[in-house]
Amino acid sequence: MKLSKELMYDAIVRKDTTFEGVFFTAVKTTGIFCRPSCTARKPKIENVEFYTSTKECIAKGFRPCKVCYPLETLNYTPPEIQKILDEIQSNPQNKIKDLDVEHFGLEPSFLRRWFIKNHGMTFHAFQRMYRINSAFKKIQQGETITNSAFDSGYESLSGFNDSFKNIFGVSPKNGIKQTIIDYKKIETTLGTMVTCVTKNGLCLLEFADNKMLETELELIAKQYNATIIQGQNPLFDEIEKQLNEYFEGQRTQFTMELDIIGTDFQQKVWKTLQTIPYGEMRSCKEQALLLNLSKSMRSVANANRKNRIAIIIPCHRISDVDGKLASYGGGIWRKEYLLNLEHKKNLYQK
C-alpha cells in the first residue's frame, strides 16, 4: 500500500504503533517531529510534513518531541525494564527470577529477547555479570574472597570461582591484579551512547551506531589491559547529568574527570580540541597552526578522528580547510545538530 499523506495522517490520529520506524511526523507550527504513535495533541493535516528518517527531520530544522522521544533507538530502555535495572544496580546480590520478572509486569521471554538484542546476552547472564562486577570491586577494596562471593549472592565458592575465571581469565585470588572498565549504554537527545569508565575517569563516549565502536572497545581493553564489563559506577550518573544539561542548553563546559590514553601527539591534538569555544568552529588548518604543525595537517586530522570521547572532547567543532563540515564518527547530521544547538545558545547569550 502506498504511503499517501492521508494514510500517514490517519495513522498518527490513531497513534498506530505498526508504523513505528516507517515515517516521522514533522509539525510546521511547532518545529518539532514525532513518532507515528505520539500521544501529544494532533496538528491539522495542512501543518504536517512526513519524513522517512530522523536525519531528514533534523536536516530540515525540526526538534525531537519531548513526549515521544523519536530519537531514542531500538536500544532504548522501556520504563519497566529500567525498574529491573535499577533493582540490579541497587542490590546486585539479589537474584531476579522469572516469577519476579512477572511481578514487574513483563514476560520473561520478552525480557530475554530484549537483553540479547540490546546487550548481547540473556537477562540472567546480565545479572551474573553485575554480581561478578560487584564482587570484583569488593576484592580490590580489601574484602576477603569468601565474603565478597557470598555478599554478592553466590551460594558456593566453587561457583563463584568458576564464574570469576570465565570472565577475567584468572582466579579470584589473582583478581586484585586485574583491571576492569565499567560499561553502560545511556540515552541522549541524539540517540543511544556507549560510555566506558575506569577508576580514574571517562575513557570512552561514543554513539552506539558508530561503525568503529567495536574496534574502539577492543583497543581500550588492550590499552588499559582491562576487561570491559557491565557494571555500575558513580561517574555514570554525572555523565548523564552533564549531557542532559548540555542538550537542554544549560551547560557549555564539562567538568568530569577524563582518563584517555594516546600518543603524546594525539594528547596535544585532543587538548587543542578542548580549547575551541562553545558555539564556535575551527578549521583543521587553524588547529595545526596552533600546534605549530602547519605541514602536518593530515596527521592532526587523523588524531581528531581517533578521539573516543564524543561531545565532551568537541571534535564536532572542526571544519575542513574551506569551512565546510568535516566528517564525524556519529554522522554529519548529528554534527549539524550539535553545532546548531551551540550556535543558538550563543546567539541567545549575546
Q: Which residues are annotated as catalytic?
A: 315
Report the 10 Å Cβ neighbour count for 107.
11
How far, in Å, CA of 257 to CA of 202, rounded?
6
> What's the half-sphere exposure (Cβ side, CA atoms, 13 Å) at 221?
12
Name the grid cell of 151: 555478599
DSSP string, 7-34: HHHHHHHTT-GGGTTT-EEEETTTTEEE
Handedness of CA 74, 85, 128, 222 (dihedral sign): positive
Q: Please enumerate, as own/partner, the contacts of 163-168 that have beta carbons within 8 Å and a separation of 24 or more.
A: 163/128, 163/131, 163/132, 164/132, 164/135, 164/136, 167/129, 167/132, 167/227, 167/229, 168/136, 168/227
Q: What is the DSSP letter of 182?
A: E
Q: Which of 253, 257, 242, 261 is nearest to 201 (CA)?
A: 257
Residues 66, 328: Cα–Cα separation, whole Å? 26
Give the whole-angstrom CA distance, residue 316 versus residue 290.
18
∠ Cα 19 24 29 (to 5°) = 135
